[in-house]
Amino acid sequence: MAEVINMPRLSDTMEEGTLAKWFKKVGDDVKEGEILAEIETDKATMEFESFHDGVLLHIGIDEGSTAPVDSIIAVIGSKGEDISSLIKGDSIPEVKEEPKVEVKEEPKVEVKEEPKVEVKEEPKLEVKEEPKPTTQVQTKSESNERILISPLAKKLASEKGIDTSLIKGTGDNGRIIKRDIDSYKPSNYGHFTQPKPHVKESSYEIPNNTMRKAIAKRLSDSKFSAPHYYLNIEMEMDNMISFRQQFINTQNIKISFNDIIAKAVALSLAKHPKVNSRWYDDKILFNEHIHLGVAVAVEDGLVVPVVKFANSKDLPEINLEIKDFAERAKNKKLNPSEIEGSTFTISNLGMFGIESFTSIINQPNSAILSIGAIIQKPIVKNSEIVVGNTMKLTLACDHRTVDGATGSLFLKTLKDYIENPVSILI
């Protein structure tokens, strides 16, 4: 008996999928466990395997096309099997024409035209044009002053978009000539030249893919449903810089500042579970486990792989996991389980030189931390101005679950960990 293959729901937010690639064609034998197709979701591209043995009898969606979840993408059965009843939904229903209603035309009323009155035109007066001069071109400015300009100079002025009324000619009788156009420099006070004739406006467009549409929908829902507010804090980073270098030298593992901050965030969340929460209409859920989402930029947008139980992992483990997620995210090879279930998210644009920014909360989280660049600048230490390194963090909170004092206490704890990073290892 033939089996219908539907578009699977490969993530909790997936509403439609794009068929990126077929590995089989109609008429091919298919075995259970074989890769049937590659499906692009709103977060990643997944290999989709067959759960049935048989022959691929029907393909319901072409490569590159998008279809909603649960729509028919293929049918697998026995060779020669009649599947017309299964794929009937894919066909275009026959539209019956409604019977035409005969409408009788009303008799036309004949209207007799009145005789036309012949109007004789008055004879036109012939006006002879004066001959145009061949050696120079005369034009009039807005002030009705005559402008003497040579044909070549006029052509150059037109190409360069120059108003000839602003130029003083140096030729005979003040005539504008080529060298006047070449040496002309526009005034700084408001006479703007027109663009050259060969300069044209241009643009191009690309269709929104599944990931971009999902990002737009989820962030719009978050921004307009969760009442965001923002808390900013600046931290000294000199101890962090020294700690990282010592860790690399002793452990021979090149951890990043982002890895250390991720660990510090996880430990801070363990002390402030109200920030590690989720809003429901009838309750607030406080998560005791800490699944840290780490925003990763990819070509088509943004994905958020999740470091699960981040507070129980050491720095080398966090480093390896984040690095692996980032590499596979760029190739769209993350599994659905690796991009779901976050309880808090961090987003770092410091590597791009961004000093501070705000992020939209990655729902169903209650908060997201934006991490800026490490900046060297004058700071006050022990009542003296010295050169130091600082970093700005911005915490975006959902006011339904995280009050201002709650978010502030979380940042205070995080500041203690970051400015005294040895405490992370204790």
Q: Specify whether the CB–CB gap between 107 and 99 falls below 8 A.
A: no
**C-alpha gyration radius of the chain:** 36
Strands 16-22 and 35-40, how do they pair?
antiparallel
416: left (phi over 0), alpha (psi -120 to 50) or beta: alpha
Q: State how far the alpha carbon of 147 is from the alpha carbons of 134, 214, 215, 359, in Å.
A: 15, 63, 61, 61
Among the listed residues 52, 228, 289, 399, the single catalytic one is 399
Q: State how far the alpha carbon of 386 is from the alpha carbons of 107, 381, 391, in Å.
A: 101, 7, 16
Residue 225 tokens, joined: 């449903």
Give dist(CA 244, CA 409) in Å, integer: 25
Three-state SS for 194? Answer: coil
Three-state SS for 216? Answer: helix
Determine the residue type at 413.
Answer: T
Residue with tokens 């490969």: 10
Phi/psi of residue 211, nearest 5 degrees: -65, -45
Tallying the residues shown for the chain, one arrives at 426
| CB-CB neighbours of 24 under 10 Å | 18
Please tell me the number of Cα atoms within 13 Å of 55 on its side-chain side.
10
| Prior bond of 364 cis (ω within 30°) | yes
* 272 among known catalytic residues: no
Cα angle 28, 32, 37; round to 5 = 60
Catalytic residues: 399
